[in-house]
Structure 1
Amino acid sequence: MSATPPTMTKGSTTGDPGREPASGEAGLKAGLKNRHLSMIAIGGVIGAGLFVGSASGIAAAGPGILISYALVGAMVVFVMRMLGEMAAANPTSGSFSAYADRALGRWAGFTIGWLYWFFWVVVLAVEATAGAKILAGWVPAVPQWAWALIVMVVLTATNLASVSSYGEFEFWFAGIKVVAIGAFVVIGLLAVFGVLPGAHNDTAGFSNLTSHGGFLPNGPGAILTGVLMVVFSFMGSEIVTLAAGESEDPQRAVTKATNSVIWRIGVFYLGSILVVVSLLPWNSAEIAKKGSYVAALDSIGIPHAGQIMNVIVLTAVLSCLNSGLYTASRMAFSLGQRGDAPKVFARVNSKNGVPQAAILGSVVFGFLSVVFNYVWPDTVFKFLLNSSGAIALFVWLVICVTQLKMRGIILREMPEKLVVRMWAFPYLTYATIGMILFVLGYMVVDGGDNRDQVLLSTLVGAIVLVLGIVLGRRHEGRAAVEK
């Protein structure tokens, strides 16, 4: 299979283990500073889904949604620990796709790389539309489709300018999200304890966790329903391992991000949801009507709560768009380097050190998805959405299986780089695999859109897998002829 990974050099990266870049190809520049990586790591776990989708989870599971978030959070912590182990040993723009290529075979790296790219270009359309709705509400004179176009063009230009431009934008986007959630948790807890000046919510208190039908008002089974509702809001935590390859000290950045993921999930997800279900009864009509965070802020008399949350949600949307375009382009770049995508994707602009063709190729599909969302929202775009819906779980599953084999490779070839270790290996890795398979199976049993997402994502995955195997055999045939 692949040869020993090439050495990473400060200032550039060759990208992926096992395959040298094409002749004459420049490396990606190390334009991301430590503060960029730190904020990308912190903000990566805070998606727009946390702000927008949490109300549905609370309605389904009541206060028990905290268990749902804790279960998914634990799964993400384990997956990130595994990915951190591999990424600290060999930071690369292809991340888990490159490691799967090395550990499992070319077919695995090809399949999961393209599926991940597909997931993020569809996300571009979802987030562009969500951002456009907010902006059109503020400036109705500009049509919604025009706002979607403006947002896509601006963030494409940012990514084309330089990786440091992406990092700077993401630093401020993520910073706003972090400050907002941190302030929400602090203010909310002060109100819960009854020490917030000017607060007018006499019903706030931890008693809300058990006073309205109990902690699990809809039964223990609702915890699993909640898991399905919240699992996809965690997607994005792995972005820091892709971005680390373009940083000044990638090993340090990955190690720091991996070690901090527990408190990040604990504060931003569990902390903020605890505040919501403590400030208001879980079955409050206000949560269903306004959304969980707006309802919570309104309950303690915070003026203009709706508009404040719109600003924060817009920031989360722009952050997701910015990172989605960056992530899709770097995965395309990595696939191009390994011969699994058009070679033009592996070319780097000599002036600013970005993979220009990979960025433009990714954004073109993103623009098409935006068009589909406006023209055929219930047919073509719904198919794209459902067929990418379970890819997050597929990615996590591949990371787990890859880590089982990569541990041996790292110990054999570069044991000094095993600076991050998965806990209780291999038992906790197998347990995480079991958790992911259980969630996928429950999605099929649950029916509806969940079943459609698993089945359609599996169908798309199978098509990409077959294509990868066919192309891999062609490459092997050509290599044999050349010899």
Structure 2
Amino acid sequence: MDKDHAIIHHAGDKIEMESYSNEPYSEKRSASLHDDVDLSTPRNEVGEGLQRNLQARHLTMISLGGTIGTGLFLASGQSIAVAGPGYSQVAYSIIGTMVFCFMSSLGEMATYLPITGSINAYGTRFFDPALGFMLGWVYWFSWSITLATELVASSVIISYWISPETCPGWVWALVFIVILTALNMTSVKAYGETEYWLSLIKVLAVIVFIVIGFLYIGGAIGTPIPGAPKPGPEVFDMGPFHGGFVGLFSIFLNAGFSFQGAELVGIAAGETKNPRKNVPRAIRQVFWRIILFYVLTILIIGMTIPYDDRSLANPDGDVESSPFTRVFIQAGISVGGDIMNAVILVAVLSAGNSGLYASSRALHTLSKEGNAPKFFGYVNRWGVPVYCVLATALVGCLAFIVSLPQVGQGQAYSWLLSLASTTGFIAWLGIAFSHIRFRMAYKAQGRSLKDLPFVSRLYPVGPIYTIIVCVVILLGQGYTAFSPFNIKSFLSAYVTIPFIFILYFGNKFWSKTKILPLVDVDLDTGRSFMDTVMPVMDSESEKNQKKRSLFRRATNGVF
């Protein structure tokens, strides 16, 4: 049997490696590691590959846009109604610290190996192709369900202005899925630009909400509601820790869904200019986003709206009960209801846009690895995997169940949120485990951490903490379905877990995959190299280094 050979080409800041072998698995491996080629050209031939057209600001807002959606604008109120503001703060803080840990892990791997569809590609590369197969399909399903969840939420939001009796919810879901599909069928640069501005609107809205909330709590604006506790200590002193341990544990899925999308930095790394510089920058900003957009937001809601306010539970999916909308109205800003609901609609479209992008890239990577039909690997001349986008959009059409009278908008949203959240935790678990394997292989092959462009300072505590939190939540979050036993709650909580083992062991048996020895792990193909003499910057980085506007400097400092 012939040994593998490699031809190394020096090309600026990268070293391109071409592998060839007579072994069938090597042929399959070289096909899967397609991102080591230079993708920075303006246009590729049809079917050739993805393109590196995302700039630094695109990458930042893509990560931010995925995490600010209905989980923050709608599910946060439900969390406070169930567990009170105290336990909600605890749950969101625990999930937030876990997100910061696995994002640090992802940053180290994505900066060193910026390959598209990294969630499943790292599982294949560092541990076992069967793990990559399982993670890829789970992640695709997770974001496809998230897309459906956002579409359901869009129809709920539209009902604030147009009642379902006037226009059924499935009509709006159809309109928005067509819009999102059209956006994702254009170039990745157009997607990045759209996501940048949609996310910017959401970010500014949250900042305004925080400012208005603190002014209302301090008594500078708004009129106290007769008979209601005054905003601030009186609201918080009602009993911030509500529902006990059951209440705390039951909102972890809501909190997890709110943070889902932070890992989009890794997915987009393979289509980003100069990932060695731009990916670490996006990763370092995660901590401040968590503080600004979740910790402060939950604090303000908990101190302005009593946890026993029936509208917070949102049993009917009524968007008027969004805590963001309620705070604006209570603060005396009458037009705030319409403005915030318009912003929430933008947030939904943005999160759905990110979901369609992430899931289509995961499916594209599965195809390149030979784990999905070959035609999903096709891309058009603008570098868009069109068949992957269309397939994901079809799954998003699950949102049409909102039109079924026996389901209802609110219940459909809750079911889909539960499915999306549990599969999201599995993807995060895969990131942490892949990082541990990456470090073990890196050490086993005698490499120095000084050669890594970005080193996670939280290793090994960070990935271990992520694994523990994810496993505890996945196994325990549905225990309330047992007393009394509720088949719907049980299925929504645990239906995905058996499929994890079916996908992994089924592929392992079918493809006869083996766990890779640490010394055989490929740590070079697709690796980002940088010239040690001259820094490599894309055109936008050069322009920004010369002169940045006051607005750009302000946004860069915060985000």
Match of 1:261 among 260, 274, 286: 286
Aligned residue among 211, 217, 223 for 2:237: 211
State the partner residue of 1:478: none
Task: Give aligned-pair identity as a percent.
Answer: 32
* Structure 2 residue matching 1:421: 3-state secondary structure: coil
Report the Cα offset of residue 208 of structure 1.
3.6
Distance 1:145 1:223, change over 3 A: closer
Task: Give SS of 2:428's match.
Answer: helix
**Match for residue 168 of structure 1 among 181, 193, 210:** 193
CA 264–223 in structure 1, closer or farther in 2 if over 3 Å, else same: same
Show the counterpart of 2:365.
Answer: 334
Q: CA deviation at 1:218?
A: 3.7
Distance 1:464 1:372, change over 3 A: farther
C-alpha displacement of 1:125? 2.1
| Cα offset, 1:366, TM superposition | 2.4
Q: Does 1:433 align with 2:467?
A: yes
Q: TM-score, normalised by structure 1?
A: 0.86
Query: Aligned equivalents of 1:122 and 1:401: distance in 2?
Result: 24
Of residues 51, 55, 59, the one that matches 2:73 is 51
Please list every run of 5 or more consecutive structure 2 residues that lacks an aligned counterpart in the other structure: 18-27, 35-44, 315-320, 515-559
Q: Is the 8 A contact 1:189 1:275 kept in 2?
A: yes
User: What amino acid is aligned across from residue 339 of structure 1 in structure 2?
Assistant: G
Residue 239 of structure 1: aligned partner? 264
User: Partner letter of residue 27 of structure 1?
Assistant: G
2:492 match: 453
1:139-168 alpha-carbon deviations (Å, 9 max, x no partner)? 566543232222111111111111112112
Query: What is residue 154 of structure 2 aligned with on the other side?
Result: 131
Partner of residue 156, structure 1: 181
The structure 2 residue matched to 1:358, chosen from 360, 383, 388, is 388
Query: Structure 2 vs 1, CA of residues 264 and 224 (structure 1 numbering), >3 Å: closer, same or farther?
Result: same
Judge conservation of contact 1:204–1:280 (CA < 8 Å) in 2: no
Change over 3 Å in CA distance of 1:312–1:169 after alignment to 2: same
Partner of 1:400: 432
Instruction: List per-residue Cα deviations over 1:225-273 (Å, max 9, x = no partner).
Output: 3324322221111112111211112222221121111110111011111
Find the aligned partners of 2:419 and 2:205 in 1 and give their Cα distance. 33
Mark the CA change 1:308 to 1:387 in structure 2 (over 3 Å): closer, same or farther.
Answer: closer
**TM-score of the superposed pair, with normalisation by structure 2:** 0.75
Matches within 5 A, 1:77-476: 77-135=100-158, 137-138=160-161, 142-194=167-219, 196=220, 198-201=221-224, 204-208=230-234, 210-213=236-239, 215-219=240-244, 221-285=246-310, 287-288=312-313, 290-350=321-381, 352-367=382-397, 369-374=398-403, 378=407, 389-411=421-443, 412=445, 415=449, 418-447=452-481, 448=486, 451-473=490-512
Give me the whole-angstrom Cα distance separating, in 2, the residues matched to 1:144 and 1:210. Answer: 36
Please tell me the root mean square deviation across aligned C-alpha atoms, in Å. 3.3
Q: Secondary structure at the match of 1:138?
A: coil
The whole-number CA distance in structure 2 between the counterparts of 1:383 and 1:126 is 9
1:419, distance to aligned residue in structure 2 (A) = 3.0
Aligned partners of 1:3 and 1:19 also within 8 Å: no
Among 84, 96, 100, the residue aligned to 1:73: 96
Change in 2 beyond 3 A, CA 1:238/1:377: farther
Query: Is the Cα–Cα contact under 8 Å of residues 170 and 402 in structure 2 kept in the other structure?
Result: no
Instruction: Report what 1:19 is aligned to.
Output: 30
Q: What is the total number of aligned residue pairs between the two structures?
A: 465
Query: Structure 1 144/307 Cα, relative in aligned 2: closer, same or farther at 3 Å?
Result: same
Whichever structure has more helix as a proportion of its residues is 1
Task: Please tell me the residue identity of whatever aligns with 2:142.
Answer: F
What do residues 38-95 of structure 1 show as CA deviations (whole Å, max 9, x unaligned)? 2112233212111111122112221211111111111111111111111111111111
C-alpha contact (below 8 Å) 1:89/1:251 kept by paired residues:
yes
Closer, same or farther: CA 410–375 of 1 in aligned 2, 3 Å = farther
Contact 1:386 1:452 in 2 (8 A): no
Judged with a 3 Å threshold, the aligned counterparts in structure 2 of structure 1 residues 384 and 284 are, in CA distance, closer, same or farther, namely: closer
